[in-house]
Amino acid sequence: MTTNEIILAVETSCDETSVAIVRGGRDILTNLVSSQIETHEMFGGVVPEIASRKHVETITVIMEQAVQAAGIPLADLSAIAVTQGPGLVGSLLVGIVAAKTLAMALDLPLIGTHHIAGHIYANALVHEITYPAVALVVSGGHTELVTLEREGAFRIIGRTRDDAVGEAYDKVARALHFPYPGGPHIDRLALDADDEIELPRAWLEPDSFDFSFSGLKSAVLAAINQSKMRGEPPMRAALARGFQASVINVLTEKALRAVRECGAKQLLLCGGVAANRGLRAALAARCEAEGVPLLVPPLSLCTDNAAMIAAAAHLKWKRGEFTPLDMKAEPMLSLEDWSVKD
């Protein structure tokens, strides 16, 4: 297949409605994102039913705006890509129905795409990926270490056993009375803090690449409760710094060990939490010290967006691996099963 195709991609896995048009898997013609943060902020987290209704209100408008912004006729499109999973089933369905409808109307192939594959290949929009590689996926719902022996071939070697990093950040932020989403507030407070309350690290078994953050979250809650019992306000800045230091320490050490043990040539950071300044800086410093090339997408491509879905769909396009129109939303879609076939 030609690698100069033009893919229109749709992303509605959670609380962002996004449509992008990308040429050749790298050239972003447009990448529009409509966020629902203000809608869900009052609830302290994403409400699935509200999220799906917001997608219904927005998806057609965003698709029209994306085509106009790209400045290309619909006849120039080569394929339609859409996030098939994982994600919230109601949200996924809205994007899938819209993508199927456009694919049928234009008689174009459909490419059901894995959300995490999109996060990983957001790096390909701005960097050249060299294989084998290791990806550290950090987002609101996922914390995983993934090996890529070759292009588009994924194998998960470590995952969280409880809270994902983003979930832990939001829960700690809520306990410290920060609004949703809490991650940016914790990151900012941690970087500005003068003191640090040391908190535990969950290393698990010596050879494990898995993660666990529920104990760390409980340690923060315990420190807050102890302050209340003493009649003192919690040391929010010191707790934020201690929490972030623990998270970064575990993520960094396990990612670098995975790179060494797998013989990877690069480490890819990806997912919404890849926007965390503390994590980006610490991982960059460690990788430089160990001579490991680190790839990190720009901030605009870390959070959910459709350009990353187009980049992952490009892997399938090159191999002619298209998705039947009876495709269903799969909230638990396996990354390894989605891998390219060759």
In this predicted structure, what is the pLDDT of residue 213? 94
What are 159's strand-pairing partners?
144
Phi and psi for 102 in degrees, rounded to 5?
-70, -40
Token digits of residue 229: 């019992």
H/E stretch holding 312 reads: helix 306-318
Cα–chain center distance at 252: 17
Percent of the chain with pLDDT over 90: 89
Condensed to tens digits (0 to 9), the pLDDT of residues 307-318 reads 999 999 999 999
Query: Angle, to 10 degrees, between the axis of helix 236-262 and the axis of helix 165-175?
Result: 170
In this predicted structure, what is the pLDDT of residue 43? 82
Condensed to tens digits (0 to 9), the pLDDT of residues 86-123 reads 999 999 999 999 999 999 999 999 999 999 999 999 99
In this predicted structure, what is the pLDDT of residue 3? 72
User: CB neighbours of 190 closer than 8 A, spacing ≥ 6?
Assistant: 237, 240, 241, 243, 244, 245, 278
Residue, of 3 and 253, whose pLDDT is higher: 253
Contact criterion met (CB below 8 Å) for 39 and 32: no
Can you list the domains of the chain with their CATH numbers? 6-121+301-338 (3.30.420.40), 130-296 (3.30.420.40)
In this predicted structure, what is the pLDDT of residue 42? 78
Distance in angstroms (rounded) separating the CA atoms of residues 273 and 17 = 19
Token digits of residue 131: 């294989």
**Comparing C-alpha atoms, which of 272, 302, 330 is closest to residue 114?**
330
In this predicted structure, what is the pLDDT of residue 100? 98
Place of tokens 């030609």: 2
In this predicted structure, the answer to whether residue 2 has a pLDDT above a threshold of 70 is no
Distance in angstroms (rounded) separating the CA atoms of residues 328 and 260 = 38
Mean pLDDT score of the chain: 95
DSSP state of 271: S
Tell me the residue type at 262: C
Give 1's pLDDT tier (boundaries 50, 70, 90). Answer: low
Contact criterion met (CB below 8 Å) for 72 and 6: yes
Dihedral sign from CA coordinates of 83, 85, 91, 94: positive
Contact criterion met (CB below 8 Å) for 269 and 277: no
Q: Report helix, strand or coil for 141.
A: coil
Tell me the residue type at 25: G
In this predicted structure, the answer to whether residue 290 has a pLDDT above a threshold of 90 is yes
Rounded mean pLDDT, 80-86: 98
- Integer CA distances (angstroms), 83 to 17, 94, 235, 287, 310, in order: 11, 10, 41, 31, 9
Percent of the chain with pLDDT over 70: 99
Condensed to tens digits (0 to 9), the pLDDT of residues 226-244 reads 998 999 888 999 999 999 9
In this predicted structure, the answer to whether residue 147 has a pLDDT above a threshold of 60 is yes
Rounded mean pLDDT, 149-170: 95
Distance in angstroms (rounded) separating the CA atoms of residues 251 and 62 = 36
Token digits of residue 121: 């290949």
Token digits of residue 254: 């396990």
Contact criterion met (CB below 8 Å) for 142 and 161: no
Give 37's pLDDT tier (boundaries 50, 70, 90). Answer: confident
Give 38's pLDDT tier (boundaries 50, 70, 90). Answer: confident
Contact criterion met (CB below 8 Å) for 240 and 268: no
Cα–chain center distance at 200: 26
